[in-house]
Amino acid sequence: MDERVVVLNGLAQGIRPLDQGIGWFESLTGTEQFEVLRDLAGFCIQARALIEDGPESIRRAGIRPAHTPAVLITRGYLTEQLTKIINLPQDERVKAFRLLVALLGVADERRRARFCAQGCSHAWHYLGAGAGTETATA
């Protein structure tokens, strides 16, 4: 698993502090920030995020429901909304990052409870244990 995947999953699982993740994200170039948002959106889809996860994700992200990414996450088809979120202007990117990290956290918690409660081979589910971080992708 590459470093970016470890960082993003660690943030979503609460293993790494969000403030640290925001600092990391802000240090990236514009292209790298877009790639991170794109990766997060893909991870959210893989984790089976739902439009119903929006309100809890907004709460966890610590953004206002009126912020553009928050408005988008609660409307329409999730895949379309994620595409809009990752393409928001530069001044919306940190809010989008916070929201997508939170959305991944919400969706992955549900996935763990439903499908991985008896164990799984998802290396990112073992980040806190420090095991298996070399082989999987989110």
Q: What is the pLDDT along the chain (138 residues), one digit of tens a residue?
A: 688 888 999 999 989 999 999 999 999 999 999 999 999 999 999 999 999 999 999 999 999 999 999 999 999 899 999 999 999 999 999 999 999 999 999 999 888 767 655 665 444 444 555 433 333 333
64: exposed, middle or buried (C-beta count within 10 Å: 0-12, 13-18, 19+)? exposed
Q: What is the pLDDT of residue 81?
A: 97
Q: What is the pLDDT of residue 19?
A: 94
Backbone angles phi, psi at 57, to 5 degrees: -65, -40
Among the listed residues 107, 111, 97, the one whose alpha carbon sits nearest the alpha carbon of residue 50 = 107
Q: What is the pLDDT of residue 111?
A: 80
Among the listed residues 136, 109, 108, the one whose alpha carbon sits nearest the alpha carbon of residue 122 = 136
Q: What is the pLDDT of residue 119?
A: 60
